[in-house]
Amino acid sequence: MNVSLNWLASYIDLEGLGTQEMADMLTFAGIEVEGIQERGVKTDLVVVAQVMEKTPVEGSDHLNVCMVDAGEGSLRQIVCGAQNYKVGDKVPCALPGAVLPGGWEIKDGKLRGVESRGMLCSASELGLPDKEHGLWILPADYVIGTPVRQFVGTDTIFELEITPNRPDLLSHWGMARELAGITGRKLKADPASAAMGAVETKPAGDVITLSAPDICPLYTATRISGVKIGPSPEWLADRLVAIGLRPINNVVDITNYCLFELGHPLHAFDAAKLTGGLNIRRAAEGEQFESLMGDTYTLKSDDVVISDASGSALALGGVMGGLNSGVTEQTTDIVLESAWFARSNIRFTSRRLGLGSDSSYRFERGTSPWNVLRAAARATELILECAGGTAEPVLVGGQAPCLVPEENAPNATVVEQGSDAKIYYALDQVQLDWKELDVMTDGSIPHTEATTILKNLGLKNIDGRGTWDCPPWRLDLKRSCDLLEEIVRVYGIDNIPATNTAIYVEESANDRASDYRMALSRKLAGAGFWEAQTFKLIAAESIDPTIASVENALPIKPLMDGDIIRVSLPISEDHSTLRPSLAPGLISVAARNINQGLEVLRFFECGRVFRNTGGGKGKDIETEVLGIFMAGKVGPASWADTKPAGAGFEHIRAVLDILVPKATITLIPAKQARENAAVGADIQINNQACGYFARLSLAKCRALGLPMESYYAELDLRKLQQVATAPYKATDLPQFPGSSRDASLDVPAATRHADIMKAVEAAKQKLLVSTGLKDVFCDPTGEKLAADRKAMTYTFLYRDAKKTLTAAEVDAAHKCVLDTLAAKVKGLSFR
């Protein structure tokens, strides 16, 4: 909300309060200052000048060279680009040395090579609202050479962000009241008090029918006859312009003015356009409403409309007037609405229709029923003053919501408004417990000081103990903690000493999980992997490889439709679905980096993946996983290694091995390869399923622009942690040397390493402590080895814990292993 300091100063004495001081004061009262605009000219170097000559600048289609008389005895040459002036006009002229709003200093200079000694100004260049497009044409009777400062006022506009709990601050009077409360400065007269002193009210009878009392329980209408619609007086128009509003006509301007003065929205109908009494009712489902802006809206039954005997909707209650019921130049009689609407309905209507106004903004945050009659009386007073006419008593329909005395608040203090038809407003009563204040502030705020703070804010202590009446404008004060907040806020947290309290705590499972995740991440970073953090919301499918999409999830089992969790109303298809795997994100990261020419593509991510267990009807499962993606070269090329090898299966396998060095990792090939994954496998750690592995299909790689093998592994972080952090003991180093033997096996090409290892195990040779694959040799040409065969060389290490083995003992053990191999592995021979 924009607040004009000039306007504010008519309600509270701001003498001696600097702009920055005031900004700080507001900030520490919880009102965010989003901007400060200084309006008007403060320098004497902007003067009234008359344009004496005007000739086009050669080679320019819009610049003119002007000779102007600024009252200096000689003419001044200034180049000007505006088009709206003529020779003889008087305009503001900024002389060299003048500093304009925004800190812009005017200097002698040249434009298109033509000397220019100053600047002719528009209103906006002087920090004033623009009244015309181009130079500000001044009245002809202004004296040449006079500083413009003498004709225009200055003002400071604060752009304030009011938190949703403080709708009482959404007006100048409300802001003045708050400043008085927090500074102790004196408030001037309440702008509504004179009008309220004279207000007459009458029961509305059947003129007002409240058909939706849950949404609109209180509605007043004031008929003013014989008004003369015309422009607003200058003081009123200036105030509206200052806060960014456009003056329309005196009656409409006054309803707007009262909204920004007292904070309560009003609406004026043209009485001639109403038929019979007013009916405030819920809209019919599908009812059409045409707003005063000319747009048509389809309504629902939670919307409230003001209709008349004709039944048509004249206004969308609390939000906006209708097209054909408003005040025009021809209007002579008006009906002024001041009412109270339930905030949730107005919010619902405004948001659903995307239709907001200064009125709906206030109603949806909450307005005080106490302000209904005040605004009606104040606006009527101003209309009579500015537009003439005679006012009838205010017709009151209904009663302030939930506030009829006795029934709802037996002990409440009741404020009574009006004459014949009374509006009762019961004040909220709050019990303040001083002990709570002492606990909250460690006893640092004296109770006398706290009492003063509450009193300054308009609260009244009614029993000399802890019972406080809250002022009618403060809708947010309901409980003890609300008062504590006020005391702390105004006293200032700066004045409350900081303390440090700590307790001893047990380490939680989450602490250990976080430690493991960081250790794992650092290990992978050290192994040459970049940690990525990709978006949890991904696309269902996309042809752009840099957009993560579910189709790249590379699962071992097919993902069913219901497994995937999709938000109801995504912002875009690219971010519509919760990721079922980290693969799509990491693939998109690889695709993005390939586009930047990166050749080593090694990424990992730790994070949650999401699945539904029961085809959309079961539980939503969130699992913390580790995803590892690897493609491209094993390392960057350099002079020392000009052609690094491409990453292969063995490299991703090596990474898996360093994750859990003490465990056995097994890949169990998937029965059926999935789309996008040429090869897929379940990953088992110590024979427990722990994740999956995939090599991307070459078709997918080509689609990614990735002409190399690409691997992905995803592991359950909790299971990984369980294995990796299992307790263990150190073992003694062997005391006797071992002895190794190599064997080169000539086997059919289809023989797997696992087949060999199984046979070695079957030998049950106790002296054998390790078996290592040393070399694999194939020869597709068939020259050195038949093309359908391969040679696998293994090293076998033998050792006895208790003695040094003799050569004969080692040979015997080795022979046992080789014999078993020969017997168990089909088609094996030794080379």
Partner 1 sequence: MKDQIASVQAAALDRIAGITDMRGLEDARVGILGKKGTLTQVQQGMRNVPKEDKPAVGAMLNEARAIITAALDDRKAALQAELDAAAVAGVDFTMPGATLPAGGLHPISIVRDEAVRVLRRMGFTLADGPDIEDEWHCFDALNTPDDHPARNEKDTFYFDSGKLLRTQTSTVQARVMEKQAPPVRIICPGSAFRRDAIDATHLSAFNQIEGLYVDKNVSVGDLKGTLEYFLKALFGSETAVRFRPHFFPFTEPSFEIDVLLQAAGQAPRWIEIAGCGMVNPAVFENIDKATGKTQYSGCTGFAFGIGLERLAMIRWGIRDIRLLIENDVRFLAQFQ
- In this complex, which beta carbon is closest to partner 1, that of residue 223 or of residue 365? 365
Position 55 contacts partner 1 (CB under 8 A): no
- In angstroms, what is the minimal distance from the CB of 674 to partner 1? 25
CA pair distance 58, 598, nearest whole angstrom: 55
Closest by alpha carbon to 345, among 315, 301, 308, 375?
A: 301
Give the burial class of 496: count Cβ atoms within 10 A of its Cβ; 0-12 exposed, 13-18 middle, 19 or more buried: middle
Give the residue, chosen from 84, 344, 688, 770, that forms a contact with partner 1 under the rule CB under 8 A.
Answer: 344
Q: Checking phi first, is residue 649 left (phi over 0); if not, alpha (psi -120 to 50) or beta?
A: alpha
- Residue 248 amino acid letter: I
CA pair distance 716, 690, nearest whole angstrom: 6
Give the residue, chosen from 143, 402, 481, 654, that forms a contact with partner 1 under the rule CB under 8 A.
Answer: 481
Position 90 contacts partner 1 (CB under 8 A): no
- In this complex, which beta carbon is closest to partner 1, that of residue 181 or of residue 326? 181
- In angstroms, what is the minimal distance from the CB of 586 to partner 1? 9
Stretch that binds partner 1, among 76-84, 147-155, 404-412, 593-601 (CB under 8 A): 593-601
- In this complex, which beta carbon is closest to partner 1, that of residue 77 or of residue 429? 429
- In this complex, which beta carbon is closest to partner 1, that of residue 481 or of residue 776? 481
CA pair distance 201, 396, nearest whole angstrom: 7
Read off the tokens for 741.
Answer: 């033997």
Q: Judging by DSSP bridges, how do beta strands 304-307 and 313-316 pair with one another? A: antiparallel
- In this complex, which beta carbon is closest to partner 1, that of residue 530 or of residue 649? 530
- In angstroms, what is the minimal distance from the CB of 70 to partner 1? 36
CA pair distance 303, 326, nearest whole angstrom: 20
List binders of partner 1 among 196-255 (CB under 8 A): none
Position 362 contacts partner 1 (CB under 8 A): no
Cβ contact 61:15 at 8 Å: no
Stretch that binds partner 1, among 79-87, 326-334, 495-503, 711-719 (CB under 8 A): 495-503
Cα 148 to chain centroid, rounded: 44
- In angstroms, what is the minimal distance from the CB of 706 to partner 1? 15
Position 435 contacts partner 1 (CB under 8 A): no
Residue 353: its H or E element: helix 343-353
Stretch that binds partner 1, among 70-78, 339-347, 773-781, 798-806 (CB under 8 A): 339-347
Backbone angles phi, psi at 186, to 5 degrees: -80, 135
Position 718 contacts partner 1 (CB under 8 A): no
Helices marked H in 649-792: 649-659, 698-703, 717-724, 753-762
Position 568 contacts partner 1 (CB under 8 A): yes
List binders of partner 1 among 363-382 (CB under 8 A): 364
| Number of chain positions touching partner 1 (CB under 8 A) | 93
Read off the tokens for 475.
Answer: 């809708």
Give the residue, chosen from 323, 440, 791, 812, that forms a contact with partner 1 under the rule CB under 8 A.
Answer: 440
Order across the sheet with 46-56: list the strands.
Answer: 76-80, 64-69, 46-56, 90-94, 119-120
DSSP string, 194-230: HHHHH--EEE-GGGEEES-TTT-SEEEEEEEES----
Helices marked H in 407-508: 434-440, 447-456, 480-491
Give the residue, chosen from 385, 511, 541, 675, that forms a contact with partner 1 under the rule CB under 8 A.
Answer: 511
Give the residue, chosen from 152, 241, 375, 589, that forms a contact with partner 1 under the rule CB under 8 A.
Answer: 589
Q: Checking phi first, is residue 168 left (phi over 0); if not, alpha (psi -120 to 50) or beta?
A: alpha
Position 641 contacts partner 1 (CB under 8 A): yes
Position 501 contacts partner 1 (CB under 8 A): yes
- In angstroms, what is the minimal distance from the CB of 515 to partner 1? 9
Position 7 contacts partner 1 (CB under 8 A): no
Alpha-carbon torsion (312, 318, 320, 325), positive or negative: positive
Position 442 contacts partner 1 (CB under 8 A): yes
Position 441 contacts partner 1 (CB under 8 A): yes
- In angstroms, what is the minimal distance from the CB of 587 to partner 1? 12
Position 544 contacts partner 1 (CB under 8 A): no
Give the residue, chosen from 508, 672, 731, 781, that forms a contact with partner 1 under the rule CB under 8 A.
Answer: 508
Position 34 contacts partner 1 (CB under 8 A): no
- In this complex, which beta carbon is closest to partner 1, that of residue 140 or of residue 503? 503
- In angstroms, what is the minimal distance from the CB of 742 to partner 1? 30
CA pair distance 217, 210, nearest whole angstrom: 7
- In angstroms, what is the minimal distance from the CB of 799 to partner 1? 35
- In this complex, which beta carbon is closest to partner 1, that of residue 286 or of residue 526? 526
| Rg value, the chain, Cα | 41
- In this complex, which beta carbon is closest to partner 1, that of residue 487 or of residue 792? 487
List binders of partner 1 among 305-334 (CB under 8 A): none
Position 295 contacts partner 1 (CB under 8 A): no
Give the residue, chosen from 9, 75, 123, 565, that forms a contact with partner 1 under the rule CB under 8 A.
Answer: 565
Position 581 contacts partner 1 (CB under 8 A): no
Q: Judging by DSSP bridges, how do beta strands 201-203 and 394-398 pair with one another? A: parallel
Position 614 contacts partner 1 (CB under 8 A): no
Position 808 contacts partner 1 (CB under 8 A): no
Position 562 contacts partner 1 (CB under 8 A): no
Q: Checking phi first, is residue 169 left (phi over 0); if not, alpha (psi -120 to 50) or beta?
A: alpha
Place of tokens 């629902």: 300
